[in-house]
């Protein structure tokens, strides 16, 4: 996010941005089917996060709860976080061996912009679950993990 008037703009520092995201993630987002928070409240660099997505209706994911790990390195938000499903899932953009969301197969990571947030990633992954090419794929047993 940039703040500015006229021709000048100020880039919000990484930690302010992450504190803003933390506050939003803890409040609950939209309809409550997507949430996220920090793994370790003592991590002053705010790198490790856990996200949760409740599978969308009218898909094989309906009612399932998926856990993800997001890692915001020191270059976040200039560069996207690494995103990995902890819960096993079968999706075109997710590596079947590791659970990593592959940037080249997931547009938001491939075309990352500084103003995108972890919330945006989780919301987009939920939309991707409901997309025609993913919503009927056979899924691993519920409660299995990478």
- Domains of the chain, each with CATH number or no CATH: 2-130 (3.10.110.10)
Q: What confidence score (pLDDT) does residue 26 get?
A: 80
Distance in angstroms between the alpha carbons of the first and the last residue of the chain: 34
Question: What does the H/E/C string look like for 8-52?
Answer: CCEECCHHHHHHHHHHHHHHCECCCCEEEEECCCCCCCCCEEEEE
CB atoms under 10 Å from CB of 63, counted, come to 10
In the structure encoding, which two tokens stand for residue 109, read together? Answer: 């990571």
Q: What confidence score (pLDDT) does residue 6 get?
A: 52
Q: What confidence score (pLDDT) does residue 88 get?
A: 98
Collect all residues with Cβ–Cβ distance below 8 Å to 20 and sequence separation of at least 6: 1, 12
3-state secondary structure of 59: coil
Each of the 146 residues of the chain gets a pLDDT tens digit; together they read 444 445 567 788 898 999 999 998 887 777 889 999 999 989 989 999 999 999 999 999 999 999 999 999 999 999 999 999 999 999 999 999 999 999 999 999 999 999 999 999 999 999 999 999 999 999 999 999 99
3-state secondary structure of 129: helix
Q: What confidence score (pLDDT) does residue 1 get?
A: 47
Q: What confidence score (pLDDT) does residue 41 get?
A: 85
0.75 surpassed by pTM = yes
């Amino acid at each position: 996010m940039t703040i500015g008037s006229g021709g000048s703009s100020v880039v919000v520092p990484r930690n302010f941005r992450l504190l803003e995201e933390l506050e939003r993630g803890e409040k609950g987002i939209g309809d409550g089917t997507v949430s996220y928070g920090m793994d370790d409240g003592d991590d002053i660099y705010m790198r490790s996060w856990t996200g949760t997505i409740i599978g969308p209706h009218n898909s094989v994911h309906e009612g399932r709860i998926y856990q993800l790990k997001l890692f915001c390195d020191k270059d976040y938000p200039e560069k996207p976080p690494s995103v990995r499903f902890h819960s096993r899932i079968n999706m075109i953009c997710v590596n079947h061996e590791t659970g990593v969301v592959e940037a080249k197969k997931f547009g938001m990571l491939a075309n990352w912009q500084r103003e995108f947030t972890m919330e945006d990633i989780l919301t987009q992954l939920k939309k991707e679950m409901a997309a025609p090419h993913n919503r009927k794929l056979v899924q691993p047993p519920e409660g299995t993990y990478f």
